[in-house]
Chain A
Amino acid sequence: MSIEQREARQPWILLTPALTAIVLLLIVPLMFIIVYSFWLKSAAGADTPGFFLDNWQEALTDPFYRDILLNTLKIAAVTTVACALLGYPAAYFIARSKGNRLVLLVLLMLPFWISYIIRTMSWINILGVSGALNSAMIWIGVIDEPIQMLYNETTVILGLVHFLLPFMVLNIFVSLEGIDTNLEDAANSLGATRWQGFLQVTLPLSLPGLAAGGLLCFVLAAGTYITPVILGGPRDAMFANLVYEAIIRQLNWPLGSALSLMLLVVLGVLVLIYNRYLGMAQLAKGLG
């Protein structure tokens, strides 16, 4: 075997473990889900194998699923915007701080050491009727009776922002860190105010990081189901909750498979659009 042939084979040899894992743990299960989505649930007992379009017809034509999907996308969008608005100043502050940057980054990563579910449940102790906020307001004398703050769509979004904010901050931070600070100084020396320098130089250059963070937050928010279960009221649900209910509560695995593929396609299209205009490199940088 020539050196060229050996060199050509080397990347594939190195990639083999990763490719094997992806095929076995992602592609094969996905194929199972695709096959399952064409089966039919029996009234009792095992599902009926075959090629039936009933589940797809129901998932695509029933306004119930469409409405919940649109509501899910709306919640994900609001969460993403909130993360961007809260995350940008934090990322900017970390990127521009000199001595304590490492400490700030460690503080940013700290929430990841605690389970997402525990972090979400912590809001019950903060916003509950006997929670910290109500107790503090009653103690100060701002209110006489506790205010009902929990179990609505706002608390669902709050829980999601709490969960996803570090992802946004990290992505924007990586982007800001790569910008030469001399560019802002140059803008200032040419007569731009600090605000104009930020708006016309720093912000446009950091947009890829903002977009990468936005994509991550949006996709993760749209796929969540724990937050509405813990912090939502009876009506609050996201699309993943419907998948959970179809598979776990109704034992309707074929319909649940079709619904999960539907969500996968919608989010997949968003990722493709992002990739088409911004490329995945920025996302990899942020995650790295």
Chain B
Amino acid sequence: MDDTKRYERLRERFQNGDISRRNFFGLLGAAGAAYGLQMPFARQAFAQSDVSQVRFDGWGGVVSEAFRKFAFDPYTEKTGITVVDGTFPGGDEYLALVRASQPGEYNIAHLSGVFDYARYASFDLTSELNVANIPNMANVMPALMDAFKSITPDSLSAAPYDYGTTGLAYNRKFIFDEEMKEKGAKILIDEKYKGKIGGWGDWRTRMWYAALQTGQDPNNIQDTEAAWEAVRKHRDLALKYWASGAELMSLLAEEEIHVTEGWSGRIFALQEQGHDIGYYDPPNGFGWQECLFVLRGSPMSACEELLNFMLDKETSIAVAEGQNYPPALDPTKVDLGDKIPTLPAFDPTGTLSGLTFANPAYWNGNEAEWSKEFGRVQRGY
């Protein structure tokens, strides 16, 4: 019996004189109070069966626009489930938000790197996907899947979605391609460009590039003091540490800076807009893969359905073309069309053997010390 029927019966009894006015209003009040009390808890209890919306958080800008246009709106049209999308400027900020939230408040995140997957696992924020409900996962490159399986061998909490690089972006009006290739990562500590250099204010990227500038393996930095010295040198020459993809694009487009490291997809977007910005991946450039991570306490069926929808060949290619990051789909299995093979970092072999990814154990192991040290170095120490 639904609530409307219950109310009609009660009103009938009141009108027939079976119950007094006082009791009628008392019962109505009690029903209202009971409804109000059960709502917050019921939301979680019914989360698995009665889902009307899923929350998705991503990097904002052109990336989120592509998700909205090519994935979320068609998904809502097909299923009736609304996708509420939020944005974050960086993975650290988002992790802090998730840690302060209740399970189920945040559902799916567009996380970066295997080290993020490992961090979420260490904070017990993982979920358990039923891969059988995501048949399109079969088209994903095994190399991307294996990275996650090495962290959570018995279960999977995320679907790989795209990949890219953090390479060197430069204004070709001021820096020629030959000079960029010759200097590589060291161009970011070249006195010649003092005041026209930018950089992401992210400790991992700063240390990764410091390793390249000091001729070290980014996944095994032996001389950390030399690396910090390179970070200091870059800090003294830089005009600005950018904090988001939008700021990166603005600084380059407005010619505030002439060279910085940048995200491959964002730089491609600038090139598409007509800006003469070059992009160069130096040897051992920072490669990364992004995933759609389902957080603990999320409505799994709806999330799995959304993941499957997003991994569908048509959706995945449309999103990739909008974001300018190659999709996680295996190019040896799926025809990715004309544009994707032209995107920076695209690997036609599907093995990604040409890219250098951050070793999650190494970088997460140094996170506490290096993130703190970077805060000091950044301020002049």
Contacts and interface: CB of A to CB of B under 8 A. Distances in A.
Interface of A: 41, 43-46, 64, 68, 124, 128-130, 148, 150-151, 229, 233-235, 237, 242, 245-252
Interface in B229-267: 235, 238-241, 243, 250, 254-256
Interface string B159-192: 0000000000000000000000000000000000
A150 B256 contact: yes
Interface of B: 90, 92-93, 95-96, 99, 119, 122-124, 195, 199, 201, 203, 235, 238-241, 243, 250, 254-256, 364, 367-368, 371-372, 375-376, 378-381
A247 B99 CA distance: 11
Given A129-B254, A150-B256, A248 B241 contact: no
Residue of A46, A234, A250 contacting most chain B CB atoms (<10 Å): A234
A130 B238 CA distance: 18
Nearest to B257: A129
A130 B254 contact: yes
A245 to B, nearest CB: 5
B123 A234 contact: no
A contacts with B: majority SS: loop
B123 A250 contact: no
B98 to A, nearest CB: 11
Contact of B256 (A43, A128, A235): A128
A151 B254 CA distance: 14
A237 B378 CA distance: 9
Given A234-B238, A235-B235, A248-B93, A129 B379 contact: no
A43 B124 contact: no
10 contacts: A46-B123, A68-B379, A128-B254, A150-B240, A234-B238, A234-B241, A235-B379, A248-B92, A249-B90, A251-B99
A46 B123 CA distance: 6
Q: What are the 5 A-B residue pairs with the smallest beta carbon separation, nearest first? A: A44-B122, A250-B371, A248-B96, A249-B92, A234-B235
A45 B121 CA distance: 9
Contacts of B93: 248-249
Contacts of B255: 129-130
Contacts of B376: 64
A250 B368 CA distance: 7
Given A234-B240, A237-B378, A44 B371 contact: no
Contacts of A251: 92, 95-96, 99
Given A129-B255, A129-B256, A148 B96 contact: no
Contacts of A130: 254-256
A95 to B, nearest CB: 41
A64 B256 CA distance: 30
Given A46-B123, A150-B240, A235-B235, 6 more contacts: A44-B123, A44-B367, A124-B254, A233-B239, A233-B240, A249-B203
A249 B375 contact: yes
Contacts of A46: 123-124
A44 B364 contact: yes
Contacts of B95: 251
A158 B282 CA distance: 39
Contacts of A249: 90, 92-93, 203, 371, 375
B378 A148 contact: no
Contacts of B379: 64, 68, 235, 237
A146 B41 CA distance: 59
Contacts of A129: 254-256
Contact of A229 (B243, B256, B371): B243
A68 B256 CA distance: 27
Contacts of B250: 124
Given A130-B254, A237-B378, A45 B372 contact: no
B239 A242 contact: no
Contacts of B368: 41, 43, 250, 252
A130 B364 CA distance: 40
A244 to B, nearest CB: 9
Contacts of A44: 119, 122-123, 364, 367
A41 B122 CA distance: 14
Contact of B201 (A128, A234, A242): A234
A249 B378 CA distance: 13
Nearest to B372: A250
A248 B153 CA distance: 29
A252 B368 CA distance: 9
Contacts of B235: 234-235
Given A233-B240, A234-B378, A247 B96 contact: yes
Contacts of A252: 368, 372
Contacts of A128: 254, 256
Nearest to B197: A234
B378 A235 contact: yes
B137 to A, nearest CB: 28
A229 B247 CA distance: 11
A242 B381 CA distance: 14
A284 to B, nearest CB: 33
Contact of A148 (B119, B239, B375, B380): B239
Contacts of A248: 92-93, 96
Contacts of A43: 368
Nearest to B90: A249
Residue of B92, B256, B376, B381 contacting most chain A CB atoms (<10 Å): B256
Nearest to B371: A250
A45 B123 contact: yes
A285 to B, nearest CB: 37
A148 B119 CA distance: 40
A252 B250 CA distance: 31
B239 A151 contact: yes
B9 to A, nearest CB: 38
A195 B339 CA distance: 73
A64 B92 CA distance: 23
Nearest to A148: B195
Given A151-B240, A233-B240, A235-B235, A250 B375 contact: yes
Nearest to A63: B381
